[in-house]
């Protein structure tokens, strides 16, 4: 294994992806190392397309892509990438007639876990990790949306992958499960690469050591969550009334209004969050979770 295979799991250079005449990714240059990397951006920014490229579900139109030191365009190297990959797509259909155990076991077979005893132990491990061990005999059609999402997360953890690609994995999870998800991902990210696309800026703040913001197929920010929040420094105010000139304004739980933008009258400066920084960066384009 060469040095770049361990040091820089993902290297993108001038990466372009078109769907017909629509340019979805416009010459992206990125190097993603170990740890949790958050991917933020409005709908249509190209996040899901980028993740599909990393997961070898799509091929780029042009540019260079190296995943775990290998070229996905080469069938042999693509197979090697897939052997080291865990993927949670944004939307995935599960097999309703399968039990939770049967489905994860089936995916384990497709991940080349051929030894029955070892596979059983691995399936039980990932089901326990997402707190589904007690429900392993339950048919998937009887699961709630959050439980189904945990099944998808469980299959992605099979084989302890070197690269974990997660497209909005926390949608539908209750607060306790989201905290558990953070625990799983942070544990997994030790010496591995986790790329997490989400609209939940709190997850980015809590989990990621690096955040990449995309808009219109380009990277518009690449830095730490702290530096993203710092973009909004001096622009977040708490006031008794909403400011009509603010990029965004909403009433908080204590009855005061949080205004992102210029200072309204009789306002107190507030500590900015990743969400504030993101709002300022996108000039007021709303993040779903902020609504």
Partner 1 sequence: MSPVFVLGRNEGERLLRNPAIWLSFVVTLLWVRSARRVGQAEDQLFLMVGYGLMLPGFVMVTAVLLATLRSRLQHSDELLGTLAVGPDRRSLGHVASTFVCGAIGLVATGAIYVALAPSPSLGAWEASDSQVVIVPRPNIAQLLQGPMALLAVAAFVIAIVRWMPTWLVLLPLGFLVMVQGLFGGVFHGTPTSGQRWIFPLNTGVVHGPWRGCGELDIECDLPVSGFDTMTPWWHLGYLAALIAWFTAAAVLRHRRDRRAWLMFAGTLLIVVLCVAAQFVAADQFVVNS
Q: For binding to partner 1 (CB under 8 A), which residues are involved?
A: 52, 55-57, 75, 79, 82-83, 85, 87, 89, 91-96, 105-107, 109-112, 114-116, 152, 155
Min dist. Cβ of residue 110 to partner 1 (A) = 4
d(CA 240, CA 258): 9
> Among residues 83 and 251, whose Cβ is nearest to partner 1?
83
Min dist. Cβ of residue 115 to partner 1 (A) = 7
> Among residues 60 and 277, whose Cβ is nearest to partner 1?
60
Min dist. Cβ of residue 287 to partner 1 (A) = 25
> Among residues 111 and 150, whose Cβ is nearest to partner 1?
111
Min dist. Cβ of residue 88 to partner 1 (A) = 8
Cβ–Cβ < 8 Å for 207, 36 = yes
Cβ–Cβ < 8 Å for 165, 87 = yes
d(CA 41, CA 220): 9
> Among residues 25 and 152, whose Cβ is nearest to partner 1?
152
> Among residues 3 and 114, whose Cβ is nearest to partner 1?
114
Min dist. Cβ of residue 45 to partner 1 (A) = 19
Six token digits for residue 133: 């061990």
Cβ–Cβ < 8 Å for 94, 140 = yes
> Among residues 159 and 242, whose Cβ is nearest to partner 1?
159
d(CA 287, CA 211): 15
What phi, psi does 214 have (nearest 5°)?
A: -115, 150
Count of alpha carbons within 13 angstroms of residue 120, beta-carbon side? 2
d(CA 24, CA 26): 6
Closest to 272 measured CA to CA, from 286, 258, 285, 282: 258
Min dist. Cβ of residue 125 to partner 1 (A) = 18
Distance of CA 182 to the CA centre of its chain: 11
């Amino acid at each position: 294994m060469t040095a770049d295979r361990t040091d820089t799991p993902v290297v993108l250079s001038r990466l372009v992806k078109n769907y017909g005449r629509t340019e979805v990714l416009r010459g992206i240059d990125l190097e993603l190392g170990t740890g949790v990397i958050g991917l933020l951006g409005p709908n249509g920014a190209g996040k899901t397309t980028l993740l599909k490229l990393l997961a070898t579900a799509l091929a780029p139109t042009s540019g260079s892509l190296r995943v775990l030191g290998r070229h996905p365009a080469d069938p042999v190297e693509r197979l090697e990438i897939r052997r080291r990959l865990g993927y949670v797509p944004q939307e995935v259909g599960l097999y309703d007639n399968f039990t939770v155990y049967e489905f994860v076991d089936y995916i384990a077979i497709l991940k080349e876990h051929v030894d029955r005893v070892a596979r059983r132990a691995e399936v039980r491990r990932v089901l326990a990790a997402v707190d589904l061990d007690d429900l392993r005999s339950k048919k998937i059609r009887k699961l709630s949306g959050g439980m189904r999402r945990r099944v998808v997360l469980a299959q992605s953890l099979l084989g302890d992958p070197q690269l974990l690609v997660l497209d909005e994995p926390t949608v539908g999870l209750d607060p306790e499960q989201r905290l558990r998800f953070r625990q799983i991902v942070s544990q997994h990210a030790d010496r591995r690469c986790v790329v997490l696309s989400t609209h939940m800026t709190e997850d980015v703040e809590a989990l990621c050591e690096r955040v990449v913001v995309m808009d219109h197929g380009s990277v518009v920010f690449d830095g730490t969550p702290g530096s993203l929040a710092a973009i909004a420094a001096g622009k977040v105010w708490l006031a008794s009334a909403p400011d009509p000139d603010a990029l965004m304004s909403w009433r908080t739980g204590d009855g005061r209004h949080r205004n992102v933008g210029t200072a309204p009258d009789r306002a107190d400066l507030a500590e900015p969050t990743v969400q504030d920084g993101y709002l300022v960066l996108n000039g007021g384009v709303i993040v779903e979770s902020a609504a």
